[in-house]
Structure formats: C-alpha cells, structure tokens
Amino acid sequence: MADLAPNSPDLRLARRPEIGRMPQGSEREHRLRELWESAPGWRGWLSTVDHKRVGLRYIVTAFFFLIVGGVEALIMRIQLARPNSHLLSPEQYDQLFTMHGITMIFLYALPVLSGFSNYLWPLVLGARDMAFPRLNALSYWVFLFAGLFLYASFPLGQAPDAGWFNYVPLASLEYDTGPNIDVYALGMVLLGISTTVGSVNFVVTLLRMRAPGMSIDRLPILVWGTLTASAANLLAIPSVSLAFLMLWLDRQFGTHFFDVGNAGRPMLWQHLFWMFGHPWVYVVVLPAMGIVSDALPTLCRRPLVGYTPVAISTVATMIIGFVVWIHHMFATGIAPLALSFFGVASTLISVPSAVATFAWIATIWLGRPVYRVPFLFFAGFVLLFVIGGVSGVMTAAVPFDWQLTDTYFVVAHLHYVLLGINVFPVLGGIYYWFPKFTGKMTNETLGKLSFWVSFIGFNLGFFPMHISGLLGMPRRIYTYPADMGWNTTNMITSIGSFVLAIGILVFLVDIAISLRRGKPAGDNPWDAASLEWSVSSPPPSYNFAVVPVIASRNPLWEDRIEEGAHSRLDEGFLLDHGREALGTTSLDARPDIILRMPADSYAPFLLGVSSALLFVAMLLHAWIATAAMVAACGVSMVVWLWPERLLIQREPQPVEDAGASHE
C-alpha cells in the first residue's frame, strides 16, 4: 500500500487549483478580514459568532465532560471490581451513575458532534457561515450553562439520583424529596433549548446556504447525518422537555400527571421519555457515521461506494427510529400485538444500518487503504458498530428481551452503541481534521498507540458485560455478594475500563504535544476531495473569498474520476460589500439572494446567562428573581434584534477569478 505523507498528492494525478483564494495582503483580502474577524482578547471571546470558534468550543467542552464522565465511570468500576465493596454508599452510587449517564449521553455525545458540524458545515457546503450565526453562539452558551447547572448540585450532594432515565414514581416527590430531581428536570429543559435552536440552524443552513451547484444529491454524508439528526431533534426534544416540565410541576405545584393515586399515569413518563430516548440513539450515531462516510474514502483513495444507498439509509434509519421506542418497554405489560409490531420495527432498523456497513467495507476492499491513525479509528469503529448492532437485534426479540432487559447485557449493548460507535469516529475525526483545525499534524506513533490501547481497553471493558448479563447480574446495583459467579467478569471489566482511560490519556497527550510542536500540515495533507480542504489551514475568518460553483460530489478529485461536468472552482461569487453570504435555492442550489450576516454581539452570551439564572431562580423558588431574569432575557433579545438585520436586495454577480473586479 502506498504511504500518504503530508502535502503529497496521489501519485496518479495532480491536485486542482486552490479555490476561493486571494493573495495575502491584497486590498480585498484585507477588507474581508476586517469584516469577518472577531475582536482580540476577551471581547472577541465573548462576542464572536464565528462558526469555527463555536465548533471548537463545542468539541473542547464536550471532551471535558467526557473526561468527567470517564472519571465517574472509573470510580464505579473500582466499586464493582470486587464483591461486597463499600467504597461508595448506595446514595453516592446512585448520584454517580446517574450523573455519569447524563454526562455521557447528553453533555458529551451530541455536543461533540455538534462541534464537528458547526465547524465543518459551512466549509464543506462552500458557505461563509451558518444561517444564524448568533443563534449558533447562543446554542453553545446555553449548552455550557446547562452543564454547569447540572454539575453545580454534585458538590452539594444533591445531584440527580434516579438514573438518567429518571423513571417515576421513583423520581416523584414522595420517594425523592430533595432538589436532586428538580435539578435534572430544569437542567434538561434548559439543555433542550440549546439543542432545539442548534437544530433549527442546521436545517436552515442546509436549505439556504449551500454553494451554487451543490444540489441535494451532492451533499457530503456528514451533512446528511447531521441534517437527519437535527430534523429528529425538532420532533423528539419537545417530548422529553414536556415530560420533565410535567414532572417538575408534579413535584412543585401538586399536579398529578404521573401520580397513579390521583388518576395519573406513570407509564406516560416512559412513553414520553423513550419517544425521545430511542431516536436520540441515532441522533448521536448518524453524524458520527457521517464522519466515517466522508473521511474513510479519502484514506482509501476512492469515493464512497454506494453514496445514494448510504444517504437514503441515513434518513431511513431515523424514520424507523421513531417507531421503536417501545423496544425499551417490552417488560412493562404492554399488549402482545404492540410488542409484535415494535419487535418487528426494532429488527427492521438493522437493514439501513447494514447498508452503511457494507458500503464502508466495500470502500476499504475496493480502495487503496493508507494505514494512518484516522483509518485505524474508522476501521475499529466498523467492528464495534457490528457488535453493537448484533446485540441490539438480539434484544429486539421480545422473549429474549424479557430475560435480559434489566441485566448488564443491556449495559454492554448501550456502551457499544453510545460510546464505541460515537467515540471512535470522533477520535478518528479529530485526527483527520486536526490539520484543518490547527494547521499542524499529529504524531503518528502516539496516535497509533492511542488507538490500540483504546480499542483493546474498550473491548476488554465492555464485552465481558454481555457475559455478566447472561449470568444474571442486574443493572443499577452498587455491590453484589461473592457467590453469584460475577467476580471474574467484573474484575476484567474494571481492568479494561482503566486500559481504555489510558488510551484516551495518550490521545490527549498527543493533541497537547501536536498543538505545541506539530509539523506544519499544509492546506490538504490527506489529498482529500471535499471543499474544506480547498482553503488554508486553519481557514480564514471568511472561509471562502470567492464562493465556488460546484458540479460534482468530489470537487477536488474531478481530474481523477469521471463525475460529469467540472466544477468552476477557480471562479465564483465575490461578496465584499459587508458581511455577506450567498443564499441559494433549496433543491438545486441556484444563486438566489445575497444575505447580510450579523456582526459579532454580546447578546447571545447575555441571553445564555440570563436563561441559566432564570432556571436557577426557578430551582430556588425565588419568584421575584425569576421575573427579573425573564425581563433580562427580554432585554437581551431586544439587544440581539436591534437594529434589525435585513437582506440586501441586489443580485449576486459572478467573477472569473479571485482578483476580478466586483462592481
């Protein structure tokens, strides 16, 4: 196999010309930088709406929560490594495993993918920014403050303690009188605001902010994955937000939505929660699958096999995912006819996932793989994806699920799906796009060490959980007797979890060293095909000086593959009469209008702070402060919208090259 060194193109063909560039120091380049760059220092840090800075903040913050959740997991594994251990009390263990679940599922898994999408979407779509830059900044600030809100209860010993699933009546006031559940309920509503506004931004960006010619059949699979997840969020988030709001009203104002003694329905909680919870599994998987589908072909030196089936399967997976939520409720006494329907749907959802799996395998098989660090993580992901998918199909069988629904078998499946299928594409994606983020290369030796230690540790840690479950070990227990036959598997699981932690530590060391002493990467070190590699590394604040015109799915590989007409990558639309972006039509991406983009503003930060303080006041029953924070939110929104941003009603005019005039 041919090795792929930084800045070395495939031996068969030279690269296409650089796109959307202007000579450094030219008058127009200087003007674009003045228009788009954020202020230096703390003022720019608080006011920036640059999608690249927002995306990196998402990634860094989510990784911080990943480390915190990992430390919580290690403490639990010390507790469970040996029988009859009492490192933690039952109350402490309840809070620890609840916060671990909340952290990994809500504060890491989706936000880290939002970081990738925030950074990459405008670059791969050929746009200057997201559709709503200020909304983009708000989504990050609200996410950050929601995470801090949830964790502020932890040092006080009042953290959520009814599991991340938070089932009633266990979570009702009668059985949990402290503020623990109120923190969770309000924190999730606050976090839902962040997810919702971010999802709206992704959907509108896709519909209106693509480069001319980037029709829907030319979208990167990463875009398909995030678009599908965002559309699902707009349907699923209201369900869980309503459930948590109803629970908070039950606990604080004596309503009886879930109180069976007053005609309430505890099962209503499970329906509302899992109507959100199962689609959420695919929300945190489909964008990760998109990362693999877009980056793996570059390292295999060929386009993705089966682009159209993979795109269709991405959408089909989410559609079917909305009709399998009772997959989590097979043991709750639901009618047999409903069990049959949802069992079939739970099995059927494996079909579109299998389409993507075969596409990745075929891409590797028919390509010329280059065994660099990102490729190893992506290939490892494919294996973990198959293991997690197979155990999911097993639990789709109702009789089998009845036996194992509350055992460690389900814990193993959950971690293969939500950790293995998310973390490995994320780590591979960071290694793949790190040169674009920073302009530097990572260390291959440390990267490969990180992969092998993480891969071995992951399987050593989580595969034995299947055996523990088959041996009857229940979920959610903080200790166990010595004569149950679970000692060996639990010890192996605990050892594996620490090996995995060492692998993540090696990754962090590699990133830290590469940030300081990494070799210069050049603009396209992987000789990739997509638009983000056509600009400098790291990209300028305005992304593209000239918005290019696209005619294929692989614009930088058009000289080596036959995909019809060539893209006009060395010409396009020069927009320099202010912060401007090009708006295009929804289906075929024809130039439609020039959009005036908003400048940096403190309003998103102020609105995020005001929203967080509003929820703190509600938690403390400080109703006067609550009213004051509502007023503060209103003032922040007025600042946000004043003066009103309007569209510039002038037609976009193409230029022949970056140096041409634009009158």
Show the 3-state SS of 541-572: CCCCCEEEECCCCCHHHCCCCCCCCCCEEEEE
Q: Tell me: pLDDT of 1 over 90.
A: no
3-state DSSP assignment of residue 203 = helix
Convert the pLDDT of each residue in 18-28 to its tens digit.
344 554 556 77
CB 212 within 8 A of CB 549: yes
Q: Tell me if 63 is assigned to some domain.
A: yes
Instruction: Specify the pairing of strand 591-596 against strand 580-584.
Output: antiparallel
- Which amino acid is residue 304, in one-letter code? L
pLDDT at 648: 45
Domain of residue 314 covers 51-517
- Element at 573 (helix H, strand E): strand 568-574
pLDDT at 658: 37
Q: Tell me: pLDDT of 624 over 50.
A: yes
Which residue in this structure is represented by tokens 């209201």?
238
pLDDT at 577: 81
Distance CA 206, CA 131 (A): 8
CA 334 to chain centre: 33
pLDDT at 13: 25
Specify the number of domains making up the chain: 2
Q: Tell me if 529 is assigned to some domain.
A: no
Residues 6+ apart with CB under 8 A from 93: 76, 79, 478
Residues 357 and 466 in one domain: yes
Q: Tell me: pLDDT of 71 over 80.
A: yes
Q: Tell me: pLDDT of 289 over 90.
A: yes
Q: Tell me if 599 is assigned to some domain.
A: no
At 345, which CATH number? 1.20.210.10
Residues 460 and 320 in one domain: yes
3-state DSSP assignment of residue 158 = coil
Q: Tell me: pLDDT of 627 over 80.
A: yes
Q: What is the mean pLDDT of residues 359-384?
A: 94
Q: What is the mean pLDDT of residues 412-439?
A: 93
Q: Tell me if 574 is assigned to some domain.
A: no
Q: What is the mean pLDDT of residues 107-125?
A: 95
Q: Helices 373-395 and 421-438 sit at what angle, rounded to 10 degrees?
A: 150
Q: Tell me if 435 is assigned to some domain.
A: yes
Q: What is the mean pLDDT of residues 498-527?
A: 94
- Which amino acid is residue 441, in one-letter code? M
Residues 612 and 494 in one domain: no
pLDDT at 643: 75
CB 395 within 8 A of CB 327: yes
Q: What is the percent of the chain with per-residue pLDDT over 70, rounded to a whole number?
A: 92
Q: Tell me: pLDDT of 40 over 60.
A: yes
Per-residue pLDDT band at 327 (split at 50, 70, 90): confident
pLDDT at 562: 66
Q: Tell me if 304 is assigned to some domain.
A: yes
Residues 622 and 487 in one domain: no
Distance CA 336, CA 342 (A): 10
**Three-class SS string for 415-477?**
HHHHHHHHHHHHHHHHHHHHHHHHCECCCHHHHHHHHHHHHHHHHHHHHHHHHHHHCCCECCC
Q: Tell me: pLDDT of 164 over 80.
A: yes
Convert the pLDDT of each residue in 518-574 to its tens digit.
899 988 999 999 999 999 999 999 988 888 888 888 888 887 776 556 767 667 788
How many residues belong to the chain?
663
Residues 73 and 214 in one domain: yes
Q: What is the mean pLDDT of residues 300-306?
A: 93
Distance CA 413, CA 103 (A): 18
Tell me, what DSSP letter sits at residue 510?
H
Residues 234 and 348 in one domain: yes
Residues 472 and 614 in one domain: no
- Which amino acid is residue 568, in one-letter code? R
Residues 6+ apart with CB under 8 A from 169: 175, 258, 259, 260, 266
Buried b (16+ CB within 10 A) or exposed e, 438-448: bbbbbbeebbb
Q: What is the mean pLDDT of residues 579-601?
A: 90
DSSP string computed for 582-595: EEE-TTT--EEEEE
Distance CA 200, CA 561 (A): 36
Distance CA 616, CA 618 (A): 5
Pick the last residue of a domain from 468, 488, 517: 517
Residues 463 and 321 in one domain: yes
Q: Which of 81-85, 177-181, 350-354, 563-567 has the lowest mean pLDDT?
A: 563-567
Q: Which of 157-166, 274-283, 645-654 has the lowest mean pLDDT?
A: 645-654
Pick the last residue of a domain from 460, 484, 517: 517
Convert the pLDDT of each residue in 242-281 to its tens digit.
999 999 999 999 999 998 888 889 999 999 999 999 899 9
Residues 510 and 609 in one domain: no
Instruction: Specify the pairing of strand 580-584 against strand 568-574.
Output: unpaired
Q: Which of 11-15, 119-123, 137-141, 547-551 has the lowest mean pLDDT?
A: 11-15
Q: Tell me if 7 is assigned to some domain.
A: no
pLDDT at 260: 86
Which residue in this structure is represented by tokens 């690269």?
15
Residues 6+ apart with CB under 8 A from 152: 183
pLDDT at 95: 94
What does pLDDT average to over the chain? 89
Q: Tell me if 15 is assigned to some domain.
A: no
Q: Which of 122-126, 336-340, 443-447, 491-495 has the lowest mean pLDDT?
A: 336-340
Convert the pLDDT of each residue in 601-610 to its tens digit.
999 999 999 9
Pick the last residue of a domain from 483, 517, 551: 517
Per-residue pLDDT band at 659 (split at 50, 70, 90): very low
